[in-house]
Amino acid sequence: GAVVSQHPSWVICKSGTSVKIECRSLDFQATTMFWYRQFPKQSLMLMATSNEGSKATYEQGVEKDKFLINHASLTLSTLTVTSAHPEDSSFYICSASRLGETQYFGPGTRLLVL
């Protein structure tokens, strides 16, 4: 149980384009999904917290207009990187949880912006 998927697993795009990453909880209903970013050999950095049916809460320093998050259902959240630039290249990981319970992580999406 507690399986979280992400799609795509990796993506290469040109600078200026937008990229959408999907996060799905496959075997449970997630009241909350979290989006993280991870640079090589570093820890996870929380970008935003997303509750189903409401607007995402962004961490300080994360541009909400650049990283659009939608949590339309209890099993799906999406992160859209708008007008991507090379500095947005990173490993993006989502997690899903029922409120107050363990966060289970997806396999991550590696984004490379050329």
62 binds other proteins (CB under 8 A): no
Count of residues interacting with other proteins (CB under 8 A): 24
User: Closer to other proteins at the Cβ: 61 or 100?
Assistant: 100
- Minimum gap (Å) between residue 46 Cβ and other proteins: 6
User: Closer to other proteins at the Cβ: 66 or 110?
Assistant: 110
Asked if residue 5 lies in contact with residue 107, where contact means CB atoms within 8 angstroms, the answer is yes
Pairing of strands 109-113, 90-97: antiparallel
Interaction with other proteins in 28-47: which residues (CB under 8 A)? Answer: 32, 34, 42-44, 46
- Minimum gap (Å) between residue 102 Cβ and other proteins: 6
Q: How far is CA 93 from the centre of its chain?
A: 5
* Residue 88-107 contact track with other proteins, rule CB under 8 A, x = bound: -----x-x-x-xx-xxxxxx
- Minimum gap (Å) between residue 6 Cβ and other proteins: 8
Residues near 105 by Cβ (< 8 Å), separated by ≥ 6? 4, 93, 94, 95
User: Closer to other proteins at the Cβ: 32 or 75?
Assistant: 32
